[in-house]
Structure 1
Amino acid sequence: MVALICLLLPALIYSSCKKQESGAGTDTGTAKTEAAVKQKFIAYYITDGRNPTFKLRDMPDGVDMVVLFGVKYWQYLDTLKYPAGTGMMASYKSYGEYFSDVKALQQRGIKVLQNVDDAASWQDAKPDGYATPEIWATTLKQTLIDKYHLDGISLDIEHSGKRPNPIPPFPKFSEIGYNGWYSGSMDANPNFLSCIGALTKYFGPKAANNTQLHTATGLDVYSWNKIAEKYVDAIDYFQVQSYDRKITDCQLMMNYATGTNKIPASKMVFGSYAEGGKSQTEDVKLAKWVPTQGQKGGIMVYTFNANVTYAKAVLAGLRSSD
């Protein structure tokens, strides 16, 4: 497993959804079950300026949610310090144009979420330098929901901090679809969990404002089991970074998530790594795949605008199963 992108900022570390190691396995198919609820297609849009002619408004029909990735929520708090057209806002020349495109997506029925990274500061209950998780969560709500009218957040849970001590034993590959812990991740101690708890007051199914709360991670991070155990009912979707993996591996992940973690299959969204460009055929199969537990929650693509042809093929695969 390696991080895709890293950008060091004051007291914060930016890294993209990680690239997981491939596990053994061959592809397989399962009988299609009747779809009670349409699967979600979640597209990550990277704002760092790549593929500059493809804007948010160019997302095709069939996309259900877009996650804004690269740009950080705290850049919205000081647009003079972090001007558009530079760095992680290089895709847009102005914040006005950017949020106009966000609104255009929403008018088409597409929900728009902001990515939020976990950080070592969560383990001290001072997320991103805020005095308390409650103050931090309130700031996110006031900025993302009240001011900019986004539809929720997705938590990128994979960054470095203190590991659990002792490190717990890891399940067998046949039980989880991974070979071991992702050592670059951190423990979800009580302080860390309190940060997620504070967010659930304003985001997700436990909030009273019809917003979304997702996680995006692998089952191999140290925090996975603790987050699932405590917040399974407070999270809309668990996005799995199942990048470049076979369907058989993903079935093992689903077995663990639904069996050990008691996560409904309909909340499990599996990941396609369009940015890497290596597994389009397999990812189209993944989009069409029906787990033995029943219909999955859908597919997420990281990152849509980095490889639009690949991403559209996965989208077509998912929508063919509607």
Structure 2
Amino acid sequence: MSTQAFLAYWLGYAEGGPPLEETPEQVTVVALAFAVTAPSPQGDSITLDFLTSKHSEAEMRAGAKALQARGVKVLMSINGTDSWEGHPDGWGNLKPEEFAANVKRIVMDDWGLDGVDLDQEGAAPPGDDFVAVIKALRAALGPDALITTPVFIGPWRDAYLPKVKDDLSMVMTMAYWNDLESAKRLFDQYAALVGPEKMAIGVANSANPGQNTPIDAVPQIAAWNPEGTTKAGVMLWNLNQPSKEETAEWCRMIGDALP
């Protein structure tokens, strides 16, 4: 069994797909996508309306418990876009401590999950407001919770990362269309910000049209390690699509190749 992480997204907003508890055995971390930042009677918080739009909360809770019983870590992925009827301005106007307290209450205390994934994909560089949110989440969730985030635009956009590298558990590239050499170059750019041991490389067989990872690059990416050290692992988008059989094959390829 590899010591590297294999994180995969399971989409509560996607029709069909295998149940959460049927996640292939090679996957070590599952992120449930997506909760959305939103105001609430308790203050800045998250809404689960999008996350539970195609699969019920009861189904996801039961699936998460089944995975955790197998030793799989389960995260809730939180999107901060303001286009999904969530919080105005998304990540940009949250009260960090208030938000973190409500995330802890929902994700950790109520659902009993293992942490959060922060889906921050806006084109503009995240500012100190997002840094404050990450630091508040780490303080509220505790040192053992997982906090992950995907990136892809480039270090110029994500120059904030050195400020929170000690608060993040893992950062995953999501330029899924890259072949091995391109994936390595992007990895190295981000590794300079957070360290190679916290960097994972994302692959996909169900991304937007034209953005899937070349299949021959998948085992190469999984097997590759930066010289003299190790990467954090591999991320897969996603577990629901395009079919149970193809997902199982991709998970097997990745699991077999991870060092």
Structure 1 length-normalised TM: 0.67
Who is 2:230 aligned against? 295
Give deviations 1:1-56, integer Å, cap 9, x for gaps: xxxxxxxxxxxxxxxxxxxxxxxxxxxxxxxxxx9x71111110011233x15110
Name structure 2 gaps, 5 residues minimum. 42-46, 82-88
Shift of 1:265: 1.6
Shift of 1:73: 7.0
Is 1:220 matched with 2:154? yes
Who is 2:3 aligned against? 38
Shift of 1:221: 6.7
> Any idea what SS the aligned residue of 2:159 has?
helix
How many pairs does the alignment contain? 241
Q: Of the candidates 309, 314, 318, which is equivalent to residue 250 of structure 2?
A: 314
Letter in 1 for 2:175: S
Give deviations 1:268-301, integer Å, cap 9, x for gaps: 1110112135622222321122233532111111
Matches within 5 A, 1:1-150: 38-50=3-15, 52-72=16-36, 88-92=51-55, 94-119=56-81, 120-123=89-92, 126-127=93-94, 132-150=95-113
Does structure 1 retain, via aligned residues, the 8 Å contact 2:13–2:52? yes
Who is 1:23 aligned against? none
Shift of 1:314: 3.3
Aligned equivalents of 1:190, 1:48: Cα separation in 2: 30
Structure 2 length-normalised TM: 0.82
Letter in 1 for 2:9: Y
Aligned equivalents of 1:70, 1:42: Cα separation in 2: 15
Shift of 1:88: 4.6
Aligned equivalents of 1:258, 1:82: Cα separation in 2: 33
Does structure 2 retain, via aligned residues, the 8 Å contact 1:49–1:88? no
Is 1:201 matched with 2:142? no
Shift of 1:219: 4.6
Who is 2:116 aligned against? 153
> Any idea what SS the aligned residue of 1:224 has?
coil
Q: Alpha carbons of 1:43 and 1:103: their partners in 2 closer, same or farther (altered >3 Å)? A: same
Identity of aligned residues (%): 21
Aligned equivalents of 1:152, 1:194: Cα separation in 2: 17
Aligned equivalents of 2:200, 2:12: Cα separation in 1: 22
Does structure 1 retain, via aligned residues, the 8 Å contact 2:14–2:54? yes
Does structure 1 retain, via aligned residues, the 8 Å contact 2:6–2:233? yes
Who is 1:264 aligned against? 195
Q: Of the candidates 220, 232, 237, which is equivalent to residue 170 of structure 2?
A: 237
Letter in 1 for 2:147: L
Aligned equivalents of 1:191, 1:73: Cα separation in 2: 14
Letter in 1 for 2:4: Q
Shift of 1:222: 5.3
Aligned equivalents of 2:115, 2:33: Cα separation in 1: 13
Name structure 1 gaps, 5 residues minimum. 1-34, 160-184
